[in-house]
Amino acid sequence: MKHTDHTLCWYCRHAVPTKDKITGEYLTGCAWSIDHRPVEGWKTCQHRMYEAQKGGMIHSYTVTECPEFEEGVKVKTHNLKLSIEFCDAVLSGEKTFEIRKNDRGFQTGDLIRFIPTDGTSYHSLDGTVREHAKHEISEHTYKITYILNGWGIKNGYVVLGIREERSYGKKRPNDHATPESLPQERLSH
């Protein structure tokens, strides 16, 4: 299957490895999701590298074709208001979590587009009340990487681990590199 809007992995049942509870054998998963090795035969249109919190580099690919793809995950995009006072911290990567009421069925892998707000409102031409402020964060998309509930979190609320997934209209270093064009030592984890 070919896909170019977002990485194909977000829609694949192998994106999250699962093991048989008795044998320990993998039931789902691929070389990438299990041990961060590129899948043989996949095609990518972008490659990014991020500095890991504990040192080293994290490689991220936009996969457009994969021989192991199996439809299995439906990703939602959540448009969430974010107070302007937090926008810079999220954008810089300093703030990597969101605390939210769990009223949207958040799932790991879902995407977030933030709508910056400064608390003031105005009426748009169609009569609806808007609370938007201008901030660069509205051009970025974040992926939910972890969901924490319980453990001292107020009932009905969740802590969402987030990381930037894509910056629309902006080039990043290595955006068009392929796994084959990179030195092998850069692909190890």
Write down the pLDDT at residue 7. Answer: 78
Residue 1 lies in a domain: no
Low-confidence ranges of the chain (pLDDT < 50): 1-4, 167-179, 181-189
111 and 68 in a common domain: no
Q: Which tens digit of pLDDT belongs to each residue from 122-140? A: 666 776 666 677 888 888 9
Number of domains making up the chain: 2
Hey, which bits of 14-139 come out as E strands?
18-19, 26-28, 43-51, 57-65, 77-83, 97-101, 111-117, 122-123, 129-130
Residue 154 lies in a domain: yes
- Give backbone dihedrals phi and psi of 78, rounded to 5 degrees, phi first: -105, 125
65 and 44 in a common domain: yes
163 and 81 in a common domain: yes
**Euclidean distance between CA atoms 62 and 42, whole angstroms:** 10
Range of the domain at 85: 77-167
Write down the pLDDT at residue 178. Answer: 47
- Residue at a domain's end among 73, 96, 124: 73
